[in-house]
Structure 1
């Protein structure tokens, strides 16, 4: 499990030209522009932060949701424990503690998607089953699911496909008894590739989902009480 300091990340963002210049925007191709369409909530800001820190949109969303202070420290301890349990339950997943939350990357070794498909394989369902007990044990968390695709097909098609992948994961977890109100689904299309789209192996890695796990209002209120706020 990798930990990322909020302070270090924020400093890195400040010094890595977070504000996109007009020239860069003007030179962006249609594929790049299309990739960002449809991101909801804080996904756009999360993507800017994430791309400048190597944490992806999910990691950027976690940084943007940070509370800080004694409240944040207490939430962080809770997330430390949950992150360790996720690693134990699903060793093939990439688990990162970012700020006061958890970034969970479910790549081809955990939740694999075929090209142009959003259907969960039997292996993907089996791996998601391993996460259900952990999510049930920590009900006071919200889970944002980001769906991704490789670069095959048009940006518009990939955006819809990525949303469908995120929804497929949420629907399966809901079928296992998790409260759907905890989830928010975001389709990111071809954004935030974690491997080259020039090879079959790289494209397979990019067909994935990522989770951003954060404290819900109850956990925040409980932490505030404990910290004396």
Structure 2
């Protein structure tokens, strides 16, 4: 993913140079140039990501990248996500927070969200860490949060798929019980799919037992960003 982000940023830099150097657009204002660069850049990035994501569309990263708006409106959304990402990092330093496109990929490993063995029950420590995220989520109500559950490769794949689905649902239920709108959440269990470490070691299996969030703008945020972009 690092290579994709570098390539995307390079593409936008080149596009920016192209647009600012063209006589036909020198008399446009910054908003108009930003929208043009964003629109074309979004198409370039979309092509790059489409070629690289493949089956990964059904992941937190795929969900974040699939919601790209682009243009000036995308920049407005991105600024809000920048701030939210920083607040998540401050609230829960043990989390992996990655700003991608116009959203946030949040990875909560066993050090942040742990379950009882072979169960979907959240431990007391997991609940305490989720409690730290709730004020941030409350501060940004105009976001959708997709929750993905994962397991290591130990045990039957079908069992792990069901367990991961139940664990993602447990996270959603806990956050909703704490006052967050249930309609903001969707859950998906992916079982042993998409490992982030080897399953050949205990440390690697521990990393693969995780929950990932894809935080993206909802329709209200998109519409407000588009209005701001049109000023």
TM-score by length of 2: 0.78
Instruction: Provide Cα deviations, 1:122-181, integer angstroms capped at 9, x if missing partner.
Output: 110000000000000000000000000111111111111110010010011011100000
Q: Distance in 2 between matches of 1:14 and 1:177?
A: 36
- Report 1:33-182 matches (<5 A): 44=55, 46-47=57-58, 57-182=59-184
> How many residues are aligned here?
194
Q: Which has the higher contact order (CA 8 A, sep 6+)?
A: 1
Cα distance in 2 for residues equivalent to 1:160 and 1:14: 29
**1: distance between equivalents of 2:50 and 2:67?**
17
Q: 1:13 to 1:74 in 2, by over 3 A?
A: closer
Structure 1 pair 5–69 and aligned structure 2 pair: CA distance change class (3 A)? farther
- CA distance 1:133–1:4, shift in 2 (3 Å): farther
Unaligned runs of 5+ in 2: 10-44
More helix by share: 2
Alignment gaps of 5+ in structure 1? 20-43, 48-56
Distance in 2, matches of 1:203 and 1:10, equals: 32
> Could you state the TM-score of these two structures normalised by the residue count of structure 1?
0.79
Report which of the two structures shows the higher radius of gyration computed on alpha carbons: 2
